Amino acid sequence: MKGAWLGTKAKAYIPPFLLEENMKEEGLVEYFEHFLENNTIFKKKLVLQSHYAPNTITHRDEQINAVAKILAPTLRGEQTSNLFIYGKTGTGKTLVVKHTTEKLLHIAQQRDIKVKVVYVNCKLKRVADTEYRLLAQLARSFGKEIPATGLPTDEVYNVFYEVIDSTRCINILVLDEIDQLMERAGNDILYNLTRINSELKESRISLVGISNDLSFTDKLDPRVKSSLSEEELVFPPYNALQIQDILRRRSDLAFHENVLEPGLIEKCSAYAAREHGDARRALELLRVAGEIAERECQQQVLIAHLDKAEQKIENDRVYHIVRTYPKQSQVILYAILCLHLKKRELFFTGEIYELYEYLCKKLNFRPLTQRRVSDVLSELDMLGLIRARIISKGRYGRMREISLSIGETILPLIKKTLEESLGL
DNA sequence: GTCAATTCACATGAAAGAGACCACGGTCTAGTG
DNA sequence: CTAGACCGTGGTCTCTTTCATGTGAATTGACGA
């Protein structure tokens, strides 16, 4: 049972492909001791983690100043314009907003000015991804407990208005990944939030919306758009040199001296720049490369580790999605997998549905309708597990042309996982 | 040969249903003084 | 008399189905050269 001891706790489950070949039960104690003694790679790994907030933010001075200028009037007790920030992932939007609001709060506290900042990530599943949940979450952050469900939304609005008004101060609501909220809950919630000040007597609210989706404002209701985007800021992606600089600063804190192979940072930033200047991804890559080097008991993080890290991150992602996917969707993915393994490059919606129906019959599942399967297929496409393209074959109809985009290295494991999960 | 109409096989959108989960208020019941 | 169990009602949320409409190029068939 190689590695079973690592896999007993469901949440900390480590996929089999990560397990060390050289780690047998008898060597366990030695391994742990060796691990502790040989802490030669990381000085402070935390620095490379995505939620780490550095003291100084590099290459974002312009944006910090802009946010500060817009939010500064709160210090005089004035309501500010609503601010809308957009830029691709890993361009430092959240970091800049959190950094600036923290400093603002600091000054406010020193001068005894009543300002409150509430940060909510609207993407968080089952936390703030619907109208009700967002309001409940906001009310909660003002100290009012609201049940997870059961109350009418109107009532939650009332509670929220009351609790906000009772603060008697300027409140800055930061809604991160606001596009996700819009997608799920529609324009109404944003419209209501932008109009909230007319309902309040004692307090004021300023909204800061953050979105990864550059075309988000196009989808907004014009009424919401004009009031939410009173001020707009675009965060450009970092270029390779900037990412290099960021990586260098962070790695100085995170790693011991001379641990990184020369050229590693450059390679890492080149990877990230290729991925549209995503600094978060670059840091993750560096951290995982370090972890791999550590696990291999190496003294240095090598470029080869970087390549492994890239592969590992992708494999982990795919593996996690597949394992946590609902059963029905797993059957659909399995059908696609089977078609792919029949060494077919491309296949179409109809073929997949046919095989899916067959598999359902075999598994004693009630098959979903084609309509639903169509949605699942586009979900799979969005998750990057398949590539789907809508094509028209003229007289022979319009359909998705689908190919699998799971790496060949992880394919056998995915197949096995699906078979185990489905009991095939 | 040309061109408009037709056709196919889904894609996509909207609305609504099913079932899980939860809060709340009213009613019932058993235990206590 | 009271605390706790139980139940019905009304709410949200997610997943799903049903129904309706949209799509785009190959095919078809009428028409004229």
CA of A360 to C1' of C6 (A): 40
Q: Is A420 helix (H, G, I), strand (E, B) or coil?
A: helix
A129 touches strand C (CB under 7 A): yes
Residue that the structure tokens 């580790």 belong to: A305
Q: Tens digits of per-residue pLDDT, A192-213?
A: 888 888 888 888 999 999 988 8
Side-chain half-sphere CA neighbours of A318 within 13 A: 26
Q: Which nucleotides of C are covered by protein (CB under 7 A)?
A: 10-20, 22-27
Q: How many CB atoms lie within 10 A of CB A418?
A: 19
Query: Confidence band (pLDDT; 50, 70, 90) for A303?
Result: very high
Q: How many CB atoms lie within 10 A of CB A25?
A: 11
Which CATH architecture does the domain made up of A61-235 adopt? 3-Layer(aba) Sandwich (3.40)
Q: Domain locations in chain A?
A: 4-15+22-51+256-313, 61-235, 325-422
pLDDT of A356 higher than 50: yes
Task: Classify A325-422 by CATH class.
Answer: mainly alpha
A421 touches strand C (CB under 7 A): no
- Write down the pLDDT at residue A154: 80
Phi first, then psi, for residue A393 (nearest 5°) are -105, 35
Residues 162-201 of A with CB under 7 A from strand C: 184
Q: Which nucleotides of B are covered by protein (CB under 7 A)?
A: 6-14, 20-24
CA of A99 to C1' of B15 (A): 44
| Overall average pLDDT of the A164-191 stretch | 84
Q: Tens digits of per-residue pLDDT, A316-326?
A: 999 988 988 88
Weakest-pLDDT range from A209-223, A273-287, A354-368 = A209-223
Query: Confidence band (pLDDT; 50, 70, 90) for A26?
Result: low
pLDDT of A1 higher than 80: no
| Overall average pLDDT of the A152-179 stretch | 86
Query: Confidence band (pLDDT; 50, 70, 90) for A24?
Result: low
- Write down the pLDDT at residue A25: 61
Higher pLDDT, A24 or A395: A395
A126 touches strand C (CB under 7 A): yes
A149 touches strand B (CB under 7 A): yes
- Write down the pLDDT at residue A380: 93
CA of A380 to C1' of C19 (A): 25
Helices within A186-277 (DSSP H only): 187-194, 216-219, 222-228, 240-254, 264-274
A151 touches strand C (CB under 7 A): yes
Strands ordered across the beta sheet of A231-235: A115-121, A170-176, A204-211, A83-87, A231-235
Beta-carbon contacts of residue A348 (< 8 Å; ≥ 6 apart): A399, A400, A401, A402
Which letter does DSSP use for residue A260 in this model? B
- Write down the pLDDT at residue A19: 55
Between strands A231-235 and A83-87, the pairing is parallel
- Write down the pLDDT at residue A9: 32
Side-chain half-sphere CA neighbours of A230 within 13 A: 14
Query: Confidence band (pLDDT; 50, 70, 90) for A283?
Result: very high
CA of A147 to C1' of C6 (A): 21
Which letter does DSSP use for residue A353 in this model? H
Residues 154-173 of A with CB under 7 A from strand B: none
Q: How many CB atoms lie within 10 A of CB A408?
A: 7
pLDDT of A8 higher than 50: no
Which CATH architecture does the domain made up of A4-15+22-51+256-313 adopt? Orthogonal Bundle (1.10)
| Overall average pLDDT of the A293-308 stretch | 90
A186 touches strand B (CB under 7 A): no
pLDDT of A254 higher than 50: yes
A147 touches strand C (CB under 7 A): no
Nucleotide nearest to A373 (CA to C1'): C16
A371 touches strand C (CB under 7 A): yes
pLDDT of A17 higher than 50: no
Residues 109-148 of A with CB under 7 A from strand B: 147-148
User: How many percent of chain A have pLDDT more than 90?
Assistant: 48
CA of A371 to C1' of C28 (A): 30
